[in-house]
């Protein structure tokens, strides 16, 4: 009798153990604690890199070849011994003796990447830039010019300050801050709202409602209907939050920090922000709906929620990393990769005035929404909408039950 109880207990223990170990979500349970550590390290690395890239100013040198090369060499010699905040000096143009270089026009030129320009000579250097840049770098330029002068003279020249209101480089940096703010807001909204679709199908599967719906309408239509319903719910939530914020503003709450006007203008930027939020929600929501459709219990949904959140963070980090690298393959990949495309293209709207790339990007994202919904619906139909356990598992447990009965 005692042996029979032990055999039965062994069968139950073996069955529960195997059911947990070989479940789809156990691997996420194992690697779950590693996600926060990994994401924290990635956040620190990418945040520091983006900060360095956006705050790495360059000073253009527009002097004769002899004076310009000597000034850059002096800067490279002294900069490692200085505490920091030393801009990089680059050759902007090698002017001929007697040639007058228009530094103001060069700073306002579209595509210019230098924050200030040094012109004139080593005896009478001229620093052209915005007031904060000129005041910050006048002393350093005098030191570098004194080091670069021949004969070992240590007299510091008077640096003439030519201040301008703004420059193309400053506008680009300010627009990059606007792009970052747009990405952060888009990420926060999608992270708060898109996760709701993970558990959307669990209750209906438990109540057998999903089987009735699947028998009445195509599975693709079912998935799309759920996605757009949850998107509508999210828009209602955003409208309520926006209204509350507006009321707080009316009653005297401080406003948000002023951001630079995006390249496409505020009205178009807000329209594109709305469209990219909808596409980001539909893209992530279709993935989450497919994942949630595979889960059979609330416990599995809870187990899957952490890796899903980490995936959202990785997409955001990738788009943020690409923000500081305009014109590179990293930016191109972030704009083409479907899940990161809304974040990257919203940043592009803040930094570039062209509208046609957004038309192409929105069509590309809509195409991938259809593809993911189609694949998710097929996977859901094949793996979930079928009755009866697998034959191999059934026979294995039957042998175990027979052993216990004996």
Residues 182 and 266 in one domain: yes
- How far does Cα 48 stand from its chain's mean position? 14
Kindly report the three-state secondary structure assignment for every residue of 161-179. EEECCCCHHHHHHHHHHHH
Which are the contacts of 307, defined by CB distance < 8 A and separation ≥ 6?
A: 28, 31, 32, 35
Residues 244 and 348 in one domain: yes
Q: Which of 135, 166, 197 is the last residue of a domain?
A: 166
Residues 94 and 205 in one domain: no
| Domains contained in the chain, number | 2
* Domain contains 52: no
The mean pLDDT value for 279-286 works out to: 85
* Domain contains 49: no
**b/e burial code for range 67-103 (CB count within 10 A of at least 16 → b):** bbebbbebbeebbeeeeeebbebeebbebeeeeebeb
- How far does Cα 161 stand from its chain's mean position? 39
Percent of the chain exceeding pLDDT 90 equals: 8
* Domain contains 39: no
Residues 221 and 334 in one domain: yes
The model scores a pTM over 0.85: no
Question: Quick one: pLDDT band at residue 96, thresholds 50, 70, 90?
Answer: confident
- 160 beta partners: 126
Q: Select, from the ranges 28-37, 189-198, 355-364, 371-380, the one with the highest average predicted confidence (pLDDT).
A: 355-364
The overall average pLDDT reported for the chain is 75
Residues 328 and 235 in one domain: yes
The mean pLDDT value for 267-286 works out to: 89
Tens of pLDDT, residue by residue over 80-90, are 888 667 888 88
pLDDT at 267 over 80: yes
Residues 211 and 113 in one domain: no
Tens of pLDDT, residue by residue over 198-214, are 665 665 666 666 666 66
Distance CA 26, CA 385 (A): 22
Which pLDDT score is estimated for 363? 93
- Between these two residues, 81 and 255, which has the higher pLDDT value? 81
Tens of pLDDT, residue by residue over 105-144, are 887 776 677 888 888 888 888 888 888 888 888 888 888 8
Residues 268 and 370 in one domain: yes
The mean pLDDT value for 382-406 works out to: 48
Q: Which of 140, 166, 192 is the last residue of a domain?
A: 166
Q: Which of 121, 143, 166 is the last residue of a domain?
A: 166
Residues 11 and 146 in one domain: no
pLDDT at 245 over 80: no
Q: Which of 311, 316, 37, 79 is nearest to 195 (CA)?
A: 311
pLDDT at 246 over 70: yes
pLDDT at 364 over 90: yes
* Domain contains 43: no
Which pLDDT score is estimated for 391? 45
* Domain contains 399: no
Domain that holds residue 225: 2-31+171-394
- Between these two residues, 55 and 389, which has the higher pLDDT value? 55
Percent of the chain exceeding pLDDT 70 equals: 65
Question: Quick one: pLDDT band at residue 362, thresholds 50, 70, 90?
Answer: very high
Residues 217 and 310 in one domain: yes
The mean pLDDT value for 180-204 works out to: 74
* Domain contains 154: yes
Q: What six digits make up the tokens of 377?
A: 């619906």
Which pLDDT score is estimated for 336? 92
Residues 339 and 219 in one domain: yes
Which pLDDT score is estimated for 21? 62
pLDDT at 360 over 90: yes
Residues 315 and 274 in one domain: yes
Which pLDDT score is estimated for 196? 65
Residues 248 and 360 in one domain: yes
pLDDT at 68 over 60: yes
pLDDT at 396 over 50: no
pLDDT at 387 over 70: no
Distance CA 260, CA 77 (A): 36
Q: How many CB atoms lie within 10 A of CB 367?
A: 11
Which pLDDT score is estimated for 293? 64
């Amino acid at each position: 009798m005692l042996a029979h109880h032990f055999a039965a207990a062994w069968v139950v223990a073996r069955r529960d153990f195997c059911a947990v170990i070989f479940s789809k979500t156990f691997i996420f349970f194992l690697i779950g604690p590693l996600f926060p550590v990994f994401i924290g390290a990635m956040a620190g690395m990418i945040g520091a890199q983006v900060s360095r890239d956006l705050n790495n100013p360059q000073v253009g040198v527009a002097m004769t070849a002899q004076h310009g090369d000597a000034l850059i060499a002096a800067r490279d010699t002294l900069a490692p011994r200085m505490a920091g905040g030393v801009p990089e000096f680059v050759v902007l143009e090698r002017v001929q003796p007697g040639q007058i270089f228009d530094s103001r026009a060069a700073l306002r030129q579209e595509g210019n990447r230098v924050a200030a320009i040094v012109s004139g000579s080593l005896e009478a250097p001229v620093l052209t830039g915005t007031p904060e840049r000129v005041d910050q770098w006048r002393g350093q330029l005098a030191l570098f010019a004194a080091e670069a002068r021949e004969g070992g003279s240590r007299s510091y020249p008077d640096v003439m300050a030519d201040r301008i209101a703004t420059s193309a480089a400053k506008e680009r940096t300010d627009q990059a801050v606007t792009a970052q703010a747009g990405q952060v807001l888009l990420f926060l909204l999608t992270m708060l709202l898109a996760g709701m679709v993970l558990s959307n199908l669990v209750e209906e599967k438990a109540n057998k409602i999903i089987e009735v719906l699947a028998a009445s309408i195509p599975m693709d239509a079912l998935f799309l209907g759920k996605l757009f319903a949850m998107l509508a719910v999210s828009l209602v939530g955003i409208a309520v939050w926006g209204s509350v914020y507006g009321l707080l503003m009316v009653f005297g709450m401080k406003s948000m920090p002023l951001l630079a006007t995006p390249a496409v203008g505020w009205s178009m930027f807000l329209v594109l922000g709305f469209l990219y939020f909808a596409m980001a929600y539909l893209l992530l929501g279709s993935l989450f709906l497919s994942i949630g459709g595979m889960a059979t219990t609330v416990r599995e949904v809870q187990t899957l929620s952490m890796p899903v959140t980490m995936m959202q963070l990785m997409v955001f980090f990738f788009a943020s990393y690409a923000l500081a690298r305009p014109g590179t393959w990293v930016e191109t990949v972030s704009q083409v990769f479907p899940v990161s495309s809304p974040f990257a293209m919203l940043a592009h709207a803040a930094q570039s005035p062209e509208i046609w790339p957004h038309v192409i990007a929105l069509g590309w994202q809509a195409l991938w929404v259809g593809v993911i919904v189609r694949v998710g619906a097929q996977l859901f139909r094949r793996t979930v909408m079928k009755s009866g356990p697998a034959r191999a598992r059934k026979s294995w447990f039957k042998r175990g039950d027979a052993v216990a009965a004996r």
